[in-house]
Amino acid sequence: MEQLTQLDAVMLARIQFAFTVAFHIIFPSFTIGLSAWIATLLVLWRRTGAEHYRDLARFWTKIFAVSFGMGVVSGIVMSYEFGTNWSHFSLVVGNVVGPLIGYEVLTAFFLEATFLGILLFGWNRVPPGLHVTAAILVAVGTLFSAFWILSANSWMQYPAGHRVVDGIAYPDDWLAITFSPTFHFRFAHMVLAAYITTAFVVIATGARYLLAGVHRPHAMTMLHMGLGLAAVLVPLQIIAGDESGRDVLHYQPAKLAAIEGKWDAGTDGPVPLVLFALPDEEQERNLYEYSVPYLGSLIVTRSWDGGFAGLKAFAPDDRPPVLLPFFAFRVMVGIGVIMFILVFWGAIVWARGNIERSRFYLRLASLSWPLGFLAVLCGWVVAEVGRQPWVATGILRTRDAASPISAQDVATSLILFVIVYAIVFSAGLIYMNRLIRKGPEEEQPTEGVANRPLMAAAAGPTSEG
Amino acid sequence: MDAIAFWLPVVWAVLIATAVVMYVILDGFDLGIGILFPFARNGTDRDTMIGSIAPFWDGNETWLVLGGGGLWVAFPAAYAAIMPANYLPVIIMLLALIFRGVSFEFRAVSKPRHGAWTVAFSVGSIVAAFAQGVILGNLIHSVGGAASRSDTLVSQWTVPLSAEIDRLNDLVVLPEWLSLFGILCGLGLVAGYALLGATWLMARTGGGLAEKSRRQARFLLVVVLIFIAAVSLWTPLEHEKIEERWFSIPNIYFLWLLPAITVIVALSAWRAIRSKAEVKPFVASILLFLLCYIGLGISVFPLIAPPDLTIWDAAAVPESQIFTLIGVLIMLPIILAYTAFVYWTFLREGKVVAGAGYH
């Protein structure tokens, strides 16, 4: 009975972590790209003097402010959750993972949070050069943050540079820890994902304005820059994702087997590519499988008949759950394909100079804003569920990582989180949508109207000197 | 224990203590604004109040992450013990900080129908402050706990009083994570943050709002002093280890200085508020916080987590502490410099005036 309660507490803690981290990652995915976009616009404005760059920067800064605020507060939750819900994790890997998070706070959080003040409130109040610098520093801060958190997470995926004594991990080589084997492509994959996510929000917003026939110059700039960026980054992302998949093959074969839906233990090729199936963990086989021969080998091993281990090669206790990584991966890749099509279709339409008349394309593009977020969430589901049953592979199992707290306490806090996040998230979405509907303001706000949309963005040109 | 194994945890304890005190002072005054929100005269004043902290709150709150993160980095065993032990108060604090944090932007963007976020901002601030006080109380409670009662200079008076407190504790039924002492600390911290907020407004605003804040500060100073006295007495009475720390010989020969200085600072705070000084009341309030904080340090050092983990027991291995310490030594001066720069950028513009400047 006691055992059962403890197990429930772990499950509830996992649900809570999944919920809070999924909620949180949405905002960094957006703000990493958005801060870079704002910094770019401000630099362009400084160099060309074209006012619409400035209007756009101002406009997106308002949305950034709302999004960043939600990211900050949901991020603070994460930094304490390691202790409240996962105290054993904190203890066992704290010597190694703790410092990485420490460096994130020191190099990223303060930088972002402090210069955010100048970015939001510095319009007309600080010298323009300082304002642009602040925007760049915020963007750099978000990148640093991504660097360290991916470093910590990659170490958990495939630990390196450490030793384990009496079940506790100790650091041996900080360079090897920081740049663990899976880090490089995972970091690239995440940063690209963040930029692409933002690009699609920008594209969708531009398309929305063109459809409505408003803010034409701004909309054209957004489409132009958004499509241009995505046209470069989406192909790069496919490469980064593929390379990251190669790392999974080498370092996390059980995760790969779950992603591919491959059951048989043997490593003989050729392996088909399972396009669709319903993996059945009880029977250890796929139901309703639809697959393409040889393609699995080709994609995973880059040879016509290469093979890799299936799930049965691993003890049931060492296998990740199959269903979630399997489907999440397919949704992620599917979104990647849709993005690829949208971007190149858009590029062609743009090149022919008739994007404003291609209403069908614009309508599709205007609906594309959630794509990046969905792909990011699915990608993290693949990464994190695929890592199970380990929280730090080979060192600590998830079931042993939780805090000694009662299932009831975890359930209470979980319910509270769900309620609070539901309120905050829907409000944030409504307000961001409201800001987007309103669109960029072409004139510089003056004192009279400055009390409007967002205190941050509306900080007027007053009290100078 | 070699020198490194001895000094590293001490350095880290000082660093974390610094991060926490930075947090308490910086987020203290902006949480204080939220605590004072219900008593503001009107919406314009509320806008000015929130405007006076809007560029800073995010950076201020980052010190909380550094405090929590630093605790994990340097003292994983303490982090792993304190957090689950304070599960609900920590979660409640985090949820309150969420409501308060998003309210800055939500409140502005939802105008003119922003009433709900005004309430969220205020309630979030109050609950976060209270929860922090409860956590503090629990921490003192759990590390200061029962030792064999020793004879100190004052034990002939404290024994009966302690018995009174025990009776009081038996009388009131509270959930496990809350105690009378925790409630006392929670209310004390709410009052303390409100005092910081009121004196901040005295320094940063003018006219009717500054005058109103001055009256609030005067009242709050008295309340805070009562709480300081109450917590200072209650702490040794209920926690024998702490009683021994303060009242045994020779400690008491030195330690009486702390309450004496506190009285002097309190008097000068009172005079500063009375004389309508602008910055002095804020500085004096910060000094009061620092003195209480030093008192706390004296009470618990070198214990860090229940039941009797010292900073040396709970420390991460030296490799981890050194690796992060290098980062701290490089980054902390930079952080302090640009934080000061951003404050200076906004503060040199002069006072926050209603309907202008920040809006």
Q: What is the pLDDT of residues A41-86, one digit of tens each?
A: 999 999 998 888 999 999 999 999 999 889 888 888 888 898 889 9
Q: What is the mean pLDDT of residues A255-278?
A: 87
Kindly report the pTM of this predicted structure: 0.89
**What is the C-alpha to C-alpha distance for residues A290 and A278, in angstroms, rounded to an integer?**
10
Cβ of residue A6 closer than 8 Å to a chain B Cβ? no
Cβ of residue A48 closer than 8 Å to a chain B Cβ? no
Question: Which residues partner with A171 through β-bridges?
Answer: A162
Question: What is the CB-side half-sphere exposure of residue B183 using CA atoms within 13 A?
Answer: 9
**What is the C-alpha to C-alpha distance for residues A189 and A197, in angstroms, rounded to an integer?**
12
Cβ of residue A411 closer than 8 Å to a chain B Cβ? no
Q: What is the mean pLDDT of residues A220-227?
A: 92
Query: Do the chains contact at A101 and B69, CB–CB below 8 Å?
Result: yes
Query: Do the chains contact at A102 and B88, CB–CB below 8 Å?
Result: no
Residue identified by tokens 């009880």 is A282
Answer whether residue A448 shows pLDDT above 50: no
What is the CB neighbour count within 10 angstroms for residue B72?
Answer: 26
- For residue A296, name the pLDDT band (cuts at 50, 70, 90): confident
Q: Residue B281, preceding bond cis, omega within 30 degrees?
A: no
What digits encode the pLDDT tens for the residues B110-119? 888 888 999 9
- For residue A165, name the pLDDT band (cuts at 50, 70, 90): very high
Q: Does residue A310 contact residue A266 with C-beta atoms inside 8 Å? A: yes
Query: Do the chains contact at A106 and B335, CB–CB below 8 Å?
Result: yes
Q: What is the mean pLDDT of residues A258-284?
A: 86
If you measure CA to CA, which chain B residue comes closest to A87? B80
- Dihedral of CA A328/A329/A332/A337: which sign? negative
Q: Which two tokens stand for residue B311?
A: 């900073």
If you measure CA to CA, which chain A residue comes closest to B53? A117
**What is the C-alpha to C-alpha distance for residues A73 and A185, in angstroms, rounded to an integer?**
28
The alpha carbon torsion through A29, A31, A37, A40 (nearest 10 deg) reads -120
Q: What is the mean pLDDT of chain B?
A: 87
Span of A229-238, A295-304, A376-385, B21-30 with lowest mean pLDDT: A295-304
| Range of A4-8, A357-361, B153-157, B232-236 with top mean pLDDT | A357-361
What is the CB neighbour count within 10 angstroms for residue A187?
Answer: 22
Q: How many residues does chain A have?
A: 465
**What is the C-alpha to C-alpha distance for residues B231 and B259, in angstroms, rounded to an integer?**
12
Answer whether residue A451 shows pLDDT above 80: no
**What is the C-alpha to C-alpha distance for residues A272 and A307, in angstroms, rounded to an integer?**
10
Q: What is the pLDDT of residue B141?
A: 80
If you measure CA to CA, which chain A residue comes closest to B345? A126
Q: Which two tokens stand for residue A203?
A: 């594209």
**What does the DSSP 8-state code read for residue A444?**
P
Q: Which H or E run includes A231? A: helix A216-251
Q: What is the mean pLDDT of residues A243-263?
A: 90
Q: What is the pLDDT of residue A446?
A: 43
- Dihedral of CA B67/B68/B74/B78: which sign? positive
Sorted by sequence, the CB contacts under 8 Å of residue A430 that are 6+ apart come out as none
Tell me which chain B residues have a C-beta less than 8 angstroms from the C-beta of A151: none
**What is the C-alpha to C-alpha distance for residues A330 and B286, in angstroms, rounded to an integer?**
56
Q: Give the count of Cβ contacts less than 8 A between chain A and B.
A: 254
**What is the C-alpha to C-alpha distance for residues A183 and A151, in angstroms, rounded to an integer?**
6
Tell me which chain A residues have a C-beta less than 8 angstroms from the C-beta of B62: 105, 109-110, 113-114
Answer whether residue B277 shows pLDDT above 90: no
Out of A73, A121, A174, name the one closest to residue B358 (CB). Answer: A121
| Residue numbers of A between 79 and 108 with CB closer than 8 Å to B | 79-80, 82-85, 87-88, 90-91, 94-96, 98-99, 101-107
Q: Which two tokens stand for residue A306?
A: 């290469």
Cβ of residue A3 closer than 8 Å to a chain B Cβ? no
Residue identified by tokens 């819900």 is A85
Q: Does residue A251 contact residue A287 with C-beta atoms inside 8 Å? A: no
Residue, of B302 and B52, whose pLDDT is higher: B52
What are the phi and psi torsion angles at B356 (to 5°)? Answer: -140, 180
Question: What is the CB-side half-sphere exposure of residue B224 using CA atoms within 13 A?
Answer: 32
Out of B65, B109, B350, name the one closest to residue A66 (CB). Answer: B109
Q: CA of A442 to nearest chain B CA: how many angstroms apart?
A: 18
Q: Does residue A313 contact residue A356 with C-beta atoms inside 8 Å? A: no
Q: What is the mean pLDDT of residues A36-40?
A: 94
Q: What is the pLDDT of residue A427?
A: 93
Q: CA of B96 to nearest chain A CA: how many angstroms apart?
A: 9
Answer whether residue A450 shows pLDDT above 50: no
Q: Which residues of A161-171 are buried (b: 16+ CB within 10 A; e: fewer)?
A: bbeeeeebbbb
Q: What is the pLDDT of residue A37?
A: 94
If you measure CA to CA, which chain B residue comes closest to A127? B345
Q: CA of A432 to nearest chain B CA: how many angstroms apart?
A: 9
% of residues, chain A, pLDDT over 70: 93
Out of B55, B70, B105, name the one closest to residue A102 (CB). Answer: B70
Answer whether residue A224 shows pLDDT above 50: yes
Q: What is the pLDDT of residue B153?
A: 59
**What is the C-alpha to C-alpha distance for residues A359 and A371, in angstroms, rounded to an integer?**
20
**What is the C-alpha to C-alpha distance for residues A60 and A58, in angstroms, rounded to an integer?**
6
Report long-range pairs for B305-308 (Cβ below 8 Å, ≥24 apart).
B305/B75, B305/B77, B305/B78, B305/B81, B305/B82, B305/B142, B305/B143, B306/B81, B306/B82, B306/B85, B306/B139, B306/B142, B306/B143, B306/B145, B307/B142, B307/B143, B307/B145, B308/B143
Question: Which residues partner with A397 through β-bridges?
Answer: A390
Q: What is the pLDDT of residue B207?
A: 87
Q: What is the mean pLDDT of residues A87-113?
A: 91
What digits encode the pLDDT tens for the residues B309-358? 889 988 888 888 999 999 999 999 999 998 898 899 888 888 887 654 33
Q: What is the pLDDT of residue A89?
A: 93
Q: What is the mean pLDDT of residues B263-275?
A: 92
Q: Residue B55, preceding bond cis, omega within 30 degrees?
A: no
Query: Do the chains contact at B79 and A94, CB–CB below 8 Å?
Result: yes
What digits encode the pLDDT tens for the residues B213-263? 999 999 999 999 999 999 888 887 777 778 878 877 788 888 888 889 999
**What is the C-alpha to C-alpha distance for residues A278 and A82, in angstroms, rounded to an integer?**
34
Out of A118, A409, A465, name the one closest to residue B88 (CB). Answer: A409
Q: Which two tokens stand for residue B7?
A: 């000094």
Q: CA of A172 to nearest chain B CA: how many angstroms apart?
A: 8
Alpha helices in A252-369 (DSSP H): 253-260, 295-301, 323-351, 359-366
What digits encode the pLDDT tens for the residues A317-365? 999 999 999 999 999 999 999 999 999 999 999 888 888 888 999 999 9
Q: Does residue B44 contact residue B354 with C-beta atoms inside 8 Å? A: yes
Query: Do the chains contact at A403 and B350, CB–CB below 8 Å?
Result: no
- For residue A460, name the pLDDT band (cuts at 50, 70, 90): very low
Q: Which of B140, B129, B66, B134 is nearest to B304 (CA)?
A: B140
Q: What is the mean pLDDT of chain A?
A: 88
What is the CB neighbour count within 10 angstroms for residue A103?
Answer: 24
- For residue A449, name the pLDDT band (cuts at 50, 70, 90): very low
Tell me which chain B residues have a C-beta less than 8 angstroms from the C-beta of A171: 317, 319-320, 323
- For residue A306, name the pLDDT band (cuts at 50, 70, 90): confident
Out of A72, A95, A458, name the one closest to residue B316 (CB). Answer: A95
- For residue A5, name the pLDDT band (cuts at 50, 70, 90): low
- For residue A443, name the pLDDT band (cuts at 50, 70, 90): low
Q: What is the pLDDT of residue A9?
A: 85
Q: What is the pLDDT of residue B150?
A: 55
End-to-end CA distance of chain A: 70
Residue, of B125 and B254, whose pLDDT is higher: B125
Q: Which of B242, B51, B272 is nearest to B162 (CA)?
A: B242
Answer whether residue A444 shows pLDDT above 80: no
Span of A263-277, A359-373, A411-425 with lowest mean pLDDT: A263-277
Query: Do the chains contact at B106 and A116, CB–CB below 8 Å?
Result: no
